[in-house]
Amino acid sequence: MTTWPTGVRGLAWGADHNPEQWPESVWAEDVALMRRAGVNLVSVGIFSWALIEVEEGRYEFGWLDRALDRLHEGGVRVDLATATASPPPWLTTAYPEVLPETAGGVRLSHGSRQSYCPSSGVYREKAVALARALAERYREHPALAAWHVGNEYGCHVSRCFCDRCAVAFRAWLRARYGDLEPLNEAWGTAFWSQRYGSWEQVLPPRATPSLGNPGQLLDFDRFSSDALLELFTAERDVLREVTPGVPVTTNFMVTWTFGALDYWRWAAEVDFVSNDHYTRAEDPERHVELAFSADLVRGLAGGRPWLLMEHSTSAVNWQRRNLAKEPGELRRNSFQHVARGADGTLFFQWRQSRAGAERYHSAMVPHAGPDTRVFREVERVGAEYARLAELVGSTVEASVALVYDWQSRWALGQPAHPTADFSYQDHALALYRALWRAGVTVDFVPPGADLSGYAAAVLPALYLVDDATPYERYVEGGGRLLVTYLSGITDGRGHVHLGGYPGAFRELLGVRTEEFHPLGEGAAVALDDGSTARVWTEDLRTEGAEVLASYADGPLAGVPAVTRNDRGDGAAWYLACGLTGDGLDRLVRGVLAHAGVPRGPEGVEVVRRRGERAGAPVSWLVAVNHGGGDAELPAAGVELLSGERVTGRVVVPAGGVVVVRGEV
């Protein structure tokens, strides 16, 4: 199986390229500028269904032939889209069933993009037919490097509630439960008279007078992720049949928006993992959130190289205030992804559109043309990437694991939990920030993964847990495990584990909580070690664990807030409250010290990739300085961007980047 876009030399570098938005007279300049910028891979045709299949069954490939030929002549490889992300108006007009429906029964119109229902047989048939037509047309095209199926599945329409989805949901439930009785049991339908007596009564969780059923909501999330995945695999299978040597991907979006897909399941189905990431311009720590995304993508890729399919050179157009990136920021962003295992980074998009909803979104070639700061920065990074080809195929070294679970995220995102102030994603990110500030590299792993290779592991709010045995074994074998509140509370169906919280983890952690005590809006509680908790506290008793900190004030004064339970050769910490800033840093650093994990340097982001060069093991230290002052690091070898020898120390300039190849 081919697991990387073919024929791309060195790190991949390029963008979404939408030649259909421009007269052909612009295309020659495009390719000339791509060469100047060192572009070697572009994604073509993602939103061009209406221009390829101009009416039902009538294909016009001429323009695409010419665009691909020209790219090939320019030495640019093509990640060719199946163009199915945006059904054309002729399709949804002729077959309104293709259009998705909201929980409130509103049918969404064409006129934007992604206006399709995942359960529409017509959509699937037409999408697969288009994928086949493209595969047959371009199977021998010399520019074809990879297939790009759909685009960001679930980005706009991640859940559809129409009658077709009701039928598909029932089929999915039958496969899961076999019978109605286990479904009634799993959903707890004895509550509020919801018992189902026949399959026809079972519906998607449509708009209801009050709170919906948590089991139904959770299963609908699972179903919806699977339903979209089936669309992807239907196209993928045709592509694999017609062009077996061409790898297939679809671009994930692992951190932003609502986490609609269970990417652990998706990652198993792509030939290589690709991801889109956009920073939140007004977040002063946006580079840390970027690092989180990149590490999570590497986890999905199973540690193998992955591709950043999209980010932006500067401003986007969909935030409330679309701030331009700072000079040097697109470079730092690009190198951060490479540091964390990307073997290439692409942008949305090549040339800034002059019409359409995204005309104020930045691109490699801005409205103002190539004589711009943005294009000069693009050229610079393109030239630098050309010096880093030796990194391709190397892997990232990490000593700490973070267990990330989309299904717990869905469950905790449902209404009617003890507080609306808790966000799974923010919580996981807060823990990640503490690890990032400690300078350690983190691998993301799925629930139940083997943790034995990691000195320490973190479980942020792992809510849905049938069985804590893998974590018990990890700790007994010497692992250091930090478990946070809202972990182990329910089984996989969302049924609460009885006998006290945190349910499945009580024994491992040596604690028992009688009652949750979420805090009021903006409220804070002091701990006796000087730290502060917000959002969450709980009334906890130890049952064997050692108390590391207790509440110093409030209704729970004297109650343990942070504990550690030594077990076997390892130890398990329980964080029972929403510890903030410094307090969280201290806790995380304490766990790392206990595990013997060395801390990285302060103030500069450092990641090590390891691989081989001329048969000998080498490593590359990639350092990104997000601060305003120069930083110094111990290093020896060759700094690849300048070509200079490094003997003992290397300076990472303010806002800059270094890549040092070392012998070990």
Residues lying near ligand GAL in the complex (CB under 6 A) are found at 151-152, 155, 276, 278, 310, 316, 348, 358, 361
Cβ nearer to ligand GAL, comparing 348 with 454: 348
**What token pair was written down for 586?**
């201290």
User: What does the DSSP assignment read for 353-386?
Assistant: -SSSTTTTS--SB-TT-SSSHHHHHHHHHHHHHH
Q: How far is the CB of 41 from ligand GAL (least distance, A)?
A: 16
Q: How far apart are CA 247 and CA 144, in angstroms?
A: 10
Alpha carbon 157 to its chain's center: 17
Between 362 and 394, CB nearer to ligand GAL: 362
Rounded to an integer, what distance in angstroms lies between the CA atom of residue 113 and that of residue 345?
A: 24
Measured from each CB, the residue nearest to ligand GAL is 348
To ligand GAL, the closest distance from the beta carbon of 254 in angstroms equals: 12
Whether 310 is a known active-site residue: answer yes
User: Per DSSP, what are the bridge partners of residue 44?
Assistant: 17, 80
Q: Which is nearer to ligand GAL, 378 or 401 (CB)?
A: 378
| For ligand GAL, the closer CB: 316 or 535 | 316
Q: Which is nearer to ligand GAL, 152 or 390 (CB)?
A: 152
Residue 151 vs 189, nearer CB to ligand GAL: 151
For the bound state, the minimum distance from the C-beta of residue 348 to ligand GAL, rounded and expressed in Å, comes to: 4
Residues 6+ apart with CB under 8 A from 618: 610, 611, 612, 661, 662, 663, 664
Alpha-helix residue ranges (DSSP H) falling in 62-162: 62-73, 89-94, 121-138
Find the distance separating the first CA and the last CA of the chain, reported in whole Å.
Answer: 31
Q: What is the 3-state secondary structure (H, E, C) of 46-90?
A: CCCHHHHEEECCEECCHHHHHHHHHHHHCCCEEEEECCCCCCCHH
Q: Residue 589: which of 358, 360, 478, 433 has the closest Cα? A: 433
Q: Which is nearer to ligand GAL, 362 or 487 (CB)?
A: 362
Using alpha carbons only, how large is the chain's radius of gyration in Å?
Answer: 26
Which CB atom, from 278 or from 406, has the smaller least distance to ligand GAL?
A: 278
CB of 412 to ligand GAL, least distance (A): 24
Q: How far is the CB of 257 from ligand GAL (least distance, A)?
A: 9
Q: In 34-65, which positions are buried (b, 16+ CB within 10 angstroms) versus exposed (e)?
A: beebbbbbbbbbbbbbbebbeeeeeeeeebbe
Distance between CA atoms of residues 336 and 338, nearest Å: 5
Which residue, among 592, 513, 585, 511, has the nearest Cα to 547 in the 3D structure? 511
SS (H, E, C) 417-485: CCCCCCCHHHHHHHHHHHHHHCCCCEEEECCCCCCCCCCEEEECCCCECCCCHHHHHHHHCCCEEEEEC
Comparison of 252 and 422: residue with beta carbon closer to ligand GAL: 252
Nearer to ligand GAL, 184 or 313 (CB): 313
Mark whether 377 is an active-site residue.
no
CB of 164 to ligand GAL, least distance (A): 25
Q: How far is the CB of 276 from ligand GAL (least distance, A)?
A: 5
Token pair, residue 365, equals 């070639």
- Cα 362 off chain centre by: 22
Tell me whether residue 152 or residue 235 sits nearer to ligand GAL (CB atom): 152
The minimum distance between CB 281 and ligand GAL, in angstroms, equals 12
Instruction: Considering the candidates 152, 329, 538, 639, report the single residue annotated as catalytic.
Output: 152
Per-residue b/e over 581-608, b at no fewer than 16 CB within 10 Å?
A: eebbbbbbbbbbebbebeebeeebbbbb
Contact 203, 170 (CB under 8 A): no
In angstroms, the CA 511 to CA 578 distance is 17
Catalytic residue among 53, 101, 235, 310: 310
Least gap, CB of 204 to ligand GAL (angstroms): 25
Long-range contacts of 540-544 (CB under 8 A, 24+ apart): 540/511, 540/512, 540/513, 540/514, 540/574, 540/576, 541/511, 541/512, 541/513, 541/514, 542/510, 542/511, 543/506, 543/510, 543/511, 543/512, 544/510
In angstroms, the CA 183 to CA 357 distance is 44
C-beta of 148: minimal distance to ligand GAL in Å? 10
- The upper half-sphere exposure of residue 161, i.e. CA atoms within 13 Å in the direction of its Cβ, equals 16
* Smallest separation (angstroms) from ligand GAL to the CB of 650: 34
Give the integer Cα–Cα distance in Å for 250 and 267.
Answer: 10
- Please identify every residue annotated as catalytic: 152, 310
